[in-house]
Amino acid sequence: MQKFLSQTFTFVMLTVLMLTGSTYITTFLMQKRNKEIHSLPPNKNYIIIGNSRPALDFNDSLIHSAYNFSSFAECYFYTYLKAEQLIKTNKNLKGVFLEYNIEDIGHKRDNWTWGKDLMQSNYIKYSYAMRAYNHEVLLKKNPGDLFAIYFGRTFLRQLKNLTVLDSTALRKFYGGYFFDGSSIMDSTSNKIYVNQKFHLKNVSSFQKEQLLRLLDLFRDNHIKVYLIRSPLHFTNGVQFNRETLIGYLGEKNKDLDYLDFNDYPAKLDEFRDPWHLNSKGARKFSIFFNQLLEDGLLLKENKEQVVRDALLALKKDYKE
């Protein structure tokens, strides 16, 4: 019996050491390829980051100065890690367009952070960039699944990334514009109130803290932040206004620009669903957004009013 227990203990320890060593090796190799993943093209010095909404809405092939690094189901906890790598890799980075609506700091984003499935997909992406703080958060909130992920798929997926994916595919794994030509919208969509009213009591102090950390990161590195809200179908109902949204970010952030495209007048067949544009809508919206930048939006004193005026003019053209 003692011999069996000794052999079992030895086997477990060797397995742990092997997996831990393998993880450190892949982490080292991933860091070596960091430039391939996060380097901006020569003509781009702005980035667009956020979750699936900017990932689907901003076709950066049509936006001359900005590159889309957004990723599906990515909360600010993980976006912070991505932002660190982008800042480190791109010394010419001037500014960032960061998606922000009230649900982005809601309790449902907690599941995006440490819920099993999304923690797994994001941990695989960003474990190589994590510090003690990140591991402490995940260990405190969901230790069982964190250990299962750490000693499971992380090594295998990173090994695949290193040995199979070329630079383009590896970059896409970490984010970018997502082409989707589908639409679930039809004539009945105009009659369905799809939004569940978001109550301010559902704001998560943790998610708010992560957004504030992210804003501080950009500020400390002298990178200008432009908060954005991507287009929403009107059946989502009335959204919280700028004053409410910016008010949650404290005195230090009260003067941030909030470029609100919520009322962008996309047609029904230009929506993938009530929360995202499809490729047809993204093409039109991205051309519109690019024109704003080309016309000097970021040099204007009142950028928010410029956006509102441009949207009103566009709505008028649509009616005509």
Quick: pLDDT tens for 39-92: 999 899 999 999 999 999 999 999 999 999 999 999 999 999 999 999 999 999
- List beta partners, residue 95: 46, 224
Please name the residue ranges forming H helices in 196-238.
205-220
CA distances from 287 to 43, 56, 61, 279, 281 (A): 17, 14, 10, 12, 10
Tokens of 289: 């957004």
pLDDT grade for 103, boundaries at 50, 70 and 90: very high
Q: What pLDDT does residue 17 have?
A: 55
d(CA 97, CA 85): 16
239/256: higher pLDDT: 256
Determine the Cα–Cα distance for residues 252 and 257; give it in Å rounded to an integer: 13
- What percentage of the chain exceeds 90 in pLDDT? 63
Structure-block tokens of residue 8: 């079992």
* Mean pLDDT, the chain, whole residue set: 87
Task: Read off the pLDDT band of 187 (50, 70, 90).
Answer: low
What integer is the mean pLDDT of 218-223? 97
Among 158-172, 201-215, 226-240, 281-295, the range scoring the smallest mean pLDDT is 158-172
SS3 content of the chain, % helix, strand, coil (to 5): 60, 10, 30
Q: Where are the beta strands (DSSP E) in the chain?
A: 46-49, 66-68, 95-99, 224-229, 257-260, 271-273, 276-277
| Residue with tokens 């079992």, as numbered in its chain | 8
- What pLDDT score does 124 carry? 86
Distances (CA, A) of 210 to 121, 189, 267: 19, 34, 34
Q: How many CB atoms lie within 10 A of CB 73?
A: 16
Q: Is the pLDDT of residue 194 over 50?
A: no
More confident position, 5 or 314: 314
Determine contact, residues 233/265, Cβ cutoff 8 Å.
Answer: no
Residues comprising the chain, all counted: 320
Q: Say if residue 192's pLDDT is above 70.
A: no
